[in-house]
A and B are shown apart, each in its own frame.
Chain A
């Protein structure tokens, strides 16, 4: 009997050792893939609010967005920008000016600029990219963020890929596999922006960041707060949503 118990205990210990080894032995690629499975959007419809803060001044913009891979449509709904629409199809960016009801193709160099004066670029806001396709990640440690255990990963842009930031350091929740913090660096090593996720929600079986703050590290006191009011994953987006006809 004692021998059997000993054998069982031994097996349990071996299993637990193997289990813990397999968890801690997750590769950076596996972690980012799991994060992508939560955060990468195939198609979605979202209503959100963006608040640009500088010192004690703040301005809020509200919008409705549709995303389908590299395509995005954003319609602003706040009084200042009401009716302004942006359509992004791959690398093409179009803008609809509600006053003159004009449709104009925006130059490609604008894609990396802050959308409507925010700290998020048009690219950040209007498309969903798989991080695994843009960066080569390396696991560099583990840390706690607001009481949650996180993997710390460092990603360097894959050569030839168009990215806004050369290097990024990501804190990924070990249990939920969602990014809780991100530091974005220039090639020179200078820290440009830092993003912190303040609220994560489980929606349709996936963990998703619902409230985040992007801080511009080069401008003291400048940040953009981004709150997703509602999000629907894989909705039926009507055909013709990402067309100039729909923009007009």
Chain B
């Protein structure tokens, strides 16, 4: 079924492309090349060059129907030189039709339920995804119905197929989300039912958590308290035969005027996650939690400073309040002449042995990446 839909979308795309004189199809994207190095605890250093190409076709809508196609090719040059097949990943290949009362989107699409926090424990796809940062797990084969209620309120229903489309409904993941604008606050309420065959989320936490309860209810809130941006979320995770758990997130952001033109942006976020459903051994061995402890308490703080109109520096810190270990992410960004972006990111893991962010085991001592990207 999904294959048929993909073929249909490709045919429409090709049709649209060859009618480009009428539809004026445009392409755009980003070419990125970089170097990444990892310093291990034993002092060894590994590095590699990475390049990737993101391409998107911009096809004008045909009436109330839109077609979107975007893909990524990782290491195209290296694979070409090595005689290998390029690694291709479809990020978007969907059809969207805007009916009078609702929108229907069918095909590969990003499903993201961000609400403005840095970490989102109640997203459709779980994982610590930094806002705007690319995460392939967000792109999924799905069917989405979006029903607007008023200018800032809506209902969304999503059905996705993480293990490929089949007739078995238990292999389908689905969720509903209500978004409501009330007195300047953005409130959302959601429910997600994971696919039965595997409890895996498809998110970045898979390696650590392994699986999570198959059902969850999430609530988020974002708004302003005078000049302070505030936000929070509550999640309840439950499943048959597993202990239920909760997550709590509370955050605030603020811009501080340093000298009229220089504004420093700061944010602070607390995330508490109960992991009662996890095997005690996973909690103590992988997450380095103390025996009997079922809750992970993280504090995330960040600051960004614009050096000038074209460059900025930022620092993000993630601290495990339970064991004092921390994870530092300094970053530098500069738009160079020629419209080329230079980004230098680094991750430094600090902590005593047997703490969450201690180097060794799954984590290196530090990671550095230098990237040049060109949007076109």
Q: Which residues of A are at the interface with B, using a C-beta cutoff of 8 A?
A: 52-54, 56-57, 59, 79-80, 82, 89, 91-92, 94, 97, 99-102, 104-110, 113, 117, 186, 190, 192, 216, 218-219, 222, 240, 242-245, 248
Contacts and interface: CB of A to CB of B under 8 A. Distances in A.
B253 interface: yes
B151 to A, nearest CB: 4
Instruction: Please give me the 4 A-B residue pairs with the lowest Cβ-Cβ distance, nearest first.
Output: A107-B229, A245-B148, A108-B224, A243-B151
B112 to A, nearest CB: 4
Contact of B308 (A56, A94, A113, A222): A222
B173 interface: no
A191 B32 CA distance: 41
Nearest to B29: A79
Interface residues of B, number: 45
B260 A100 contact: no
Nearest to B70: A99
A232 B323 CA distance: 61
A79 B309 contact: no
Interface stretch (B130-138, B164-172, B271-279): B130-138
Contact of A59 (B103, B150, B310, B376): B310
Contacts of A79: 28, 375-376
B154 A244 contact: yes
Contacts of A102: 110, 112, 114, 131
A80 B339 contact: yes
A105 B146 contact: no
Given A59-B335, A59-B339, A243-B152, A109 B229 contact: yes
Interface in B113-162: 114-116, 131-132, 134, 138, 146, 148, 150-152, 154
Contacts of A104: 114-116, 131, 222
Contacts of A243: 148, 150-152
Contact of B184 (A56, A91, A222): A91
Contact of A105 (B109, B154, B186, B309): B186
A224 to B, nearest CB: 9
B110 A100 contact: yes
Nearest to B312: A117
A89 B114 CA distance: 20
A59 B28 CA distance: 18
A100 B261 contact: no
Nearest to A52: B309
B219 interface: no
B28 A248 contact: no
B215 interface: no
Nearest to A79: B375
B376 A100 contact: no
B274 to A, nearest CB: 26
A110 B138 CA distance: 27
B335 A109 contact: no
Contacts of B109: 101
Contacts of A56: 337
A244 B151 contact: yes
A53 B337 CA distance: 11
A97 B260 contact: no
A97 B309 contact: no
B152 A219 contact: no
Contacts of B110: 99-102
Contacts of A99: 110, 132, 134
Contacts of A218: 259-261
A223 to B, nearest CB: 9
Contacts of B103: 245, 248
Interface string B100-116: 00010000011010111
B116 A105 contact: yes
A5 B138 CA distance: 89
B267 to A, nearest CB: 9
B130 to A, nearest CB: 11
A100 B114 contact: yes
B132 A245 contact: no
B308 A80 contact: no
Contacts of B335: 57, 59
A91 B308 CA distance: 27
B254 interface: yes
Contacts of B132: 97, 99-100
B90 interface: no
Nearest to B146: A248
Contacts of B253: 107, 109
Contacts of A192: 260-261
Q: Which of A54, A57, A105, A216 has the most CB of B within 10 A?
A: A105
B112 A100 contact: yes
Contacts of B308: 54, 219, 222
B139 to A, nearest CB: 9
Contacts of A92: 152, 181, 184
Contacts of A101: 109-110, 112
A106 B222 CA distance: 9
